[in-house]
Structure 1
């Protein structure tokens, strides 16, 4: 049994320290996932807290036969984030520019331009390099975790990530 499975079992039997250990192990990855989905630090932090609160109050919901504890935690976080997105979309927002501060509108527009540039630069990379960058920067996986998940030598992961980042830099500087 791997360590995360043991931690989930301990959590199931009321061991609060197990929750703290799971948080230390998975918290940064869950935050990265939430931030990627929500594009808001505050919302990502709240969903991170909600995710671990749900784990604390409902560890019996985890079923090992359906997947790893990590996959379960990511699924809880993803579902919580998607619920937050649906709630956000359901709230009426004003589209009247007079009601939106000019600085905020300008910052939002600039942010969209940067995202668009990054997205365009990413699309010029080989698909395999795109996946490595997504794993590292949006899923929050470490280089060894990527190597294991992609069945690649660690050195290859590091080299390909570096090459992909340099290619991204060149494309963004040219844009």
Structure 2
């Protein structure tokens, strides 16, 4: 049962790495209670733990491509992110100045990604395109349709004239090949 759970979480993270919002929602539903408990145990403040939890899921979304399946539980990776973010917030809390700055614009972060983050994201997309090019056209198209365009398995199966389980098998094998390609 543990192996099935581990594989399910790894598959969700792999799909999140490809930008799949449904998998992100499923991962949130499956793990948010545990990660909230981690944040709360470090911060001892429920509202701050809830805010930190949201930051944790933003980090998970942004860093899903960095997750390396190595046989260990993906929960370890998720808990580490939550714990580290909560500790960072705890440290920031203790180093805050006693008075708040008067210029609110000075403390608001920019909504734009940093040049470094934009470069990394462009490189990640380029690597994904290269890895998708290594798949057969039909499988690459299926991955793009389901994980980048949001097409459902049933719609893809109907479009391809194949059973849903065949399409799922294509996608599973394709995701495994993509994972191998990306980790090289």
TM-score, length basis structure 1: 0.50
1:103 is matched with none
Quote how far apart the aligned CAs of 1:26 are.
0.4
| 2:55 maps to 1:50 | yes
Q: How does 1:9-158 map to 2 (within 5 A)?
A: 9-65=14-70, 67-93=72-98
Q: Which runs of 5+ in 2 are unaligned?
A: 1-5, 100-184
Quote how far apart the aligned CAs of 1:56 are.
1.1
Quote how far apart the aligned CAs of 1:67 are.
3.0
Distance 2:73 2:25 in 1: 18
Deviates more, 1:44-53 or 1:67-76: 67-76
Distance 2:12 2:63 in 1: 14
The SS at the match of 1:64 is: coil
Distance 2:23 2:92 in 1: 31
Question: Could you report, residue by residue, the CA deviation over 1:104-140 in whole angstroms, capped at 9, with x for unpaired residues?
Answer: xxxxxxxxxxxxxxxxxxxxxxxxxxxxxxxxxxxxx
Q: Number of matched residues? A: 94
CA RMSD of aligned residues (A): 1.7
Distance 1:84 1:53 in 2: 15
Quote how far apart the aligned CAs of 1:68 are.
2.1
Distance 1:80 1:66 in 2: 24
Q: Which runs of 5+ in 1 are unaligned?
A: 95-175
1:166 is matched with none
